[in-house]
Copies of this chain bind each other. A is one copy, B any other.
Amino acid sequence: MVIDIHGHLTPGPEAHVYQARLIMNRGRPAEQARPPTVPDESVASTIAPHLDKLRAVGTDVQLISPRPYAMMHSVKPLKVVRSWTAFVNDLIAQQVRLSAGVFRGVAGLPQYRTEPVGAAVEELERCIRTLGFVGCILNPDPMEGDEGPRPAGLGSEYWYPLYEKLVELDVPALIHSASCVDPRESYTLHFLNEESVAIMNLIESRVFTDFPSLKLVVAHTGGAIPYHIGRFRAWRLRAGGGEAFDDSLHRLYFDTCNYSKDALEHFFKVVPARNVMFGTENPGTGSVRDPASGRQMDDLKPVIDSIESLTNEDREMIYSENAMRVYRLDRGRYAR
């Protein structure tokens, strides 16, 4: 059983037409009230190549969330973000329903600049309780790299209503930024930088004291932190006391979305298998043939299979057991 916790929705043409209309009309009420109904046949044909790609690499289940660079969190005004997020979550639910058991839903949240997270909490609850989703993605930078005030780091109480709801619903959040409008940074590099910021904000805060059962997953093997672990170990030692930096880091979960075997070997020296879940983004950035191996770069199972430091028990945890536990994929009424 192979569960990929890091997949994203493939939006079809109807979605993009609605997206463009929402932006052009700045989300006026008439547009908000008219999200298109996408026919099942159209959704089925949109997801068919996606399902083929998963079948080709032996992935049994994939958790799909909104395509991050299309989340539009920084597009003004707020109602564009709310309408678009709700539409995308409904489309994910439809894709899950038509995927013959392959997909599970992970919600996007209507995060917007420094707005309080109340609307995000409401949408999370709707997606879990009504649509049967198994978690959400959480964008630590709803400004998407734009100038101007942004919410405080993930260690601040700004985020607490959301953490409370995650704990109450017993679902995890995948920390994953969205687009990036700063011309110095691509969205893909912004992912990594924001993951580093998120990790440091969280583990230097009271969040895991205040929410001991909160489950947060960091995408892409944790930004730069595992590579610079020595720097942060030293920082913590010089601060004198408290728990070891590694113990703090291990309060978080991580996915394996890193397309270098060498890098993954380093990652597994820093993060134990019990904190790691298989994740690939397939289809996404890594969906290209690696001239060295001849395989798609996001075909990570053979890569992880070949990492000698891992035991078979480790691989079981990474491929399925941890995801089953963290995302509670076995809960009956939410099964699909």
Most buried by B among A149, A221, A235: A235
Expressed in whole angstroms, the minimum distance between the Cβ of A250 and any Cβ of chain B is 16
Which residues of the partner chain B approach A150 to less than 8 Å between Cβ atoms?
184
Q: Would you list which residues of chain A between 175 and 220 have a CB under 8 Å from chain B? A: 183-186, 188-189, 192-193, 196-197, 200-201, 220
> Known contacts A227-B266, A231-B286, A286-B234: does B197 contact A189 (CB below 8 Å)?
yes
The answer, among B184, B227, B234, B270, for a CB contact under 8 Å with A224, is: B227
Q: Contact mask A224-257 → B, CB, 8 Å, 1/0?
A: 1011111101110110000000000000000000
The answer, among B185, B230, B262, for a CB contact under 8 Å with A269, is: B262
The answer, among B231, B259, B263, B288, for a CB contact under 8 Å with A259, is: B231
Which residues of the partner chain B approach A324 to less than 8 Å between Cβ atoms?
none
Which residues of the partner chain B approach A228 to less than 8 Å between Cβ atoms?
192, 220, 258, 260, 263
- Is there contact, CB below 8 Å, between B196 and A189? yes
- Is there contact, CB below 8 Å, between B230 and A288? no
Q: Would you list which residues of chain A between 259 and 299 have a CB under 8 Å from chain B? A: 259-260, 262-263, 265-266, 269-270, 285-291, 297-298
- Is there contact, CB below 8 Å, between B285 and A231? yes
Which residues of the partner chain B approach A269 to less than 8 Å between Cβ atoms?
262
The answer, among B186, B193, B235, B291, for a CB contact under 8 Å with A193, is: B193
Question: Copy number in this complex?
Answer: 2
- Is there contact, CB below 8 Å, between A259 and B230? yes
Q: Contact mask A57-84 → B, CB, 8 Å, 1/0?
A: 0000000000000000000000000000
Q: Does chain B have a CB within 8 A of A148?
A: yes
The answer, among B189, B231, B260, B262, for a CB contact under 8 Å with A258, is: B231
> Known contacts A226-B227, A231-B258, A269-B262: does B288 contact A238 (CB below 8 Å)?
yes
Which residues of the partner chain B approach A288 to less than 8 Å between Cβ atoms?
234, 237-238
Q: Does chain B have a CB within 8 A of A330?
A: no
Most buried by B among A184, A186, A233: A184
Expressed in whole angstroms, the minimum distance between the Cβ of A291 and any Cβ of chain B is 8
Q: Does chain B have a CB within 8 A of A223?
A: yes
- Is there contact, CB below 8 Å, between A238 and B193? no
Q: Does chain B have a CB within 8 A of A152?
A: yes
Q: Does chain B have a CB within 8 A of A147?
A: yes
Rounded to whole angstroms, the CA-CA distance of A96 and B193 in the bound complex is 36
Which residues of the partner chain B approach A286 to less than 8 Å between Cβ atoms?
230-231, 234
Expressed in whole angstroms, the minimum distance between the Cβ of A81 and any Cβ of chain B is 21
Which residues of the partner chain B approach A235 to less than 8 Å between Cβ atoms?
186, 188, 285
Q: Contact mask A98-142 → B, CB, 8 Å, 1/0?
A: 000000000000000000000000000000000000000000000
Which residues of the partner chain B approach A285 to less than 8 Å between Cβ atoms?
231, 234-235, 238
A235-B285, A237-B297 known; 5 new pairs, CB 8 Å cut-off, are A184-B197, A227-B266, A229-B263, A231-B286, A234-B288
A-B contact pairs, 12 of them (CB 8 A): A147-B148, A152-B183, A192-B228, A196-B224, A228-B260, A230-B260, A233-B259, A233-B297, A237-B289, A262-B269, A262-B270, A265-B266
